[in-house]
Amino acid sequence: MLNELNSSITLLEYYLTWLIKLSSGSLASYILIMFFMLLVVLELNSPREKLSITQAQSSYQANIKLFVFNNIVISLLSIPSLLLLASHYADKGLLSTISNPIEKAFISFLAMDLMLYCLHKACHHFDCLWMLHKVHHNDPYLNVTTAFRLHFLEIVLITGMKALLVLVLGIEKTWLLANEAVIAFFIMPHHSNIVLLAEQLLGWLIITPYLNRAHHSTLRNEHDRNYGAVLSLWDRLFGTLTELTPKEVGVQGYVSQDFIDLISCGLTIRDKKSPCQTANLDQMIAEAAYYKAEKRGFYPGHDLQDWLDAKREMIG
């Protein structure tokens, strides 16, 4: 299984490299790949929450399939289209009145980060948007590849909002690429299954793994918080910040990791039964019992009790 997991990581690295060759080919892109691989190594060797090889493999494979599909269908159009807009409208937006390039870069970054905060919050409060965004949330084993777990229609939405921002502000191509790189640089680690040094202190400025883990809680009153992409400033400013350790991450119930189910999941409304959650109770109980046994180091003699405890938790 470890070999299969390593194969999944290699596949994602290959497609990241492939995407770079089709886009800017910049040094920053290669640095992001190396950073991604570093996070993978840290997750595997020093995880925040211990995952079995089966659990990690299930998440990695589902997220990689979505990543590959999204890049084939959407990403070849999204970045080039944004760059085209940036090339034509850089001197026509609100930022054209500012002569200092550093000020332009800083304002464009703040505007992009605030826009992502607002869009993220909207995705949690409007069912038509949540049906897309819940694909990102239904990963029960939060890790660095979860950052790439997006429904392709949500990518279309995000790209459209970025395009609108580029038009209104007149963001230059250089700053657009820089913003994309910076946002990716922060989104990957705060989805990672790692513990950062002094992350509670860092949390006063940026979204860190412990803040994002609370955002991925299965409980709605917990996951409707911590919407920031890079800065935690917006959550503090608008009263949506929370600092807690969730009991579970993902969505409630058994989460299907099948690629087709994940695509279908993004086309169903919040509270209706969807392919995101199947009715296979035995499989749900078996996974929960396995997790209990794993926490005890698979000490023998408790198999039946683990099963009964897991069943009691599932059906109340």
User: Averaged in consecutive runs of 10 residues, what is the pLDDT profile of the chain (316 residues)?
Assistant: 50 49 56 84 88 82 84 64 74 87 93 97 92 92 92 90 91 87 92 92 96 94 94 97 93 75 75 50 60 64 68 57
The CA–CA distances, whole Å, from 146 to 85, 166, 207 equal: 29, 27, 15
Instruction: Give CA–CA dist 263/134, Å, rounded.
Output: 11
Question: Within a 13 Å sphere around the CA of 309, how many CA atoms are in the beta-carbon half?
Answer: 12
Which residues 6+ apart lie within 8 Å of 98 measured at CB?
Answer: 104, 107
pLDDT of residue 213: 96
pLDDT of residue 287: 59
Instruction: Give CA–CA dist 128/270, Å, rounded.
Output: 8
pLDDT of residue 40: 86
DSSP character string of 7-64: HHHHHHHHHHHHHHHHTT--HHHHHHHHHHHHHHHHHHHS-SS---HHHHHHHHHHHH
CB 89 within 8 A of CB 172: no
The CA–CA distances, whole Å, from 67 to 30, 70, 148, 152 equal: 17, 5, 6, 9
Instruction: Give CA–CA dist 105/94, Å, rounded.
Output: 13
Which residues 6+ apart lie within 8 Å of 173 measured at CB?
Answer: 83, 86, 87, 90
Taking phi over 0 as left and psi of -120 to 50 as alpha, with beta for the rest, 126 belongs to: beta
> If residue 259 lies in a helix (H) or strand (E), which one and from where to where?
helix 259-265
Taking alpha carbons only, the member of 137, 139, 150, 148 closest to residue 32 is 148
Which residues 6+ apart lie within 8 Å of 71 measured at CB?
Answer: 15, 19
pLDDT of residue 266: 77
Question: Within a 13 Å sphere around the CA of 249, how many CA atoms are in the beta-carbon half?
Answer: 25
Taking alpha carbons only, the member of 79, 64, 70 closest to residue 7 is 64
Taking alpha carbons only, the member of 221, 192, 206, 202 closest to residue 51 is 192
Instruction: Give CA–CA dist 109/253, Å, rounded.
Output: 38
The model's pTM is: 0.75
Which residue reads 């509670």 in tokens? 200
Q: What residue segments make up the domains of the chain, in order of their start?
A: 2-277, 280-316
| Token output for 144 | 């660095």
**Burial tier of 198 (Cβ tally within 10 Å: 0-12, 13-18, 19+):** exposed
In the chain the first and final C-alpha atoms are separated, in Å, by: 33
pLDDT of residue 286: 63
Query: Alpha carbon 225 to chain centroid distance?
Result: 15
